Amino acid sequence: MDENCIFCKIVAGKLPSAKAYEDDKVLVFMNLQQKNPGHTLVIPKVHYPNIYEIPDDYVSYVAQVGARVARALKRQFEPLGVNLLQNNEPAAMQSVFHYHVHVIPRYKDDDLLAIWKASASSPDVLNANAEKLKAGL
């Protein structure tokens, strides 16, 4: 646990949250800043700052719970779609440095991810990038 981490304080019961699910590994609660109704966070109870430090089996479990949350949001909030979003480091818009996954219901014209505008890359660039990634795996 990190005593300065807001999510660790929520896990410890030192700060309130609107809990939707909890087990021995994860906590699921409503994001304080609801981008759309039902915007949920899935966090591990153990403090890991980001994707680089969390063990693979824990990432898998958080993803499984995130999928369950997405299906429940689909049933209960009737969105047109759902995003599962996970940010790492300030350049990727991470603001709380405790690994977490946003599960965000999406609706027509909600303009939530308007920042994501990219142009297509050439096959040569895609293949070069794939080779570079392969070397790191």
The Cα–Cα gap between 55 and 70 comes to 23
Q: Among positive and negative, which fits the CA dihedral 95, 71, 44, 54?
A: negative
The Cα–Cα gap between 33 and 20 comes to 16
**DSSP strand E in the chain: where?**
19-22, 26-30, 40-44, 81-85, 101-106
97 close to 61: Cβ distance less than 8 angstroms: no
Has 100 been annotated as catalytic? Answer: yes
Catalytic residue among 39, 47, 98, 100: 100
Q: Catalytic residues, which ones? A: 100
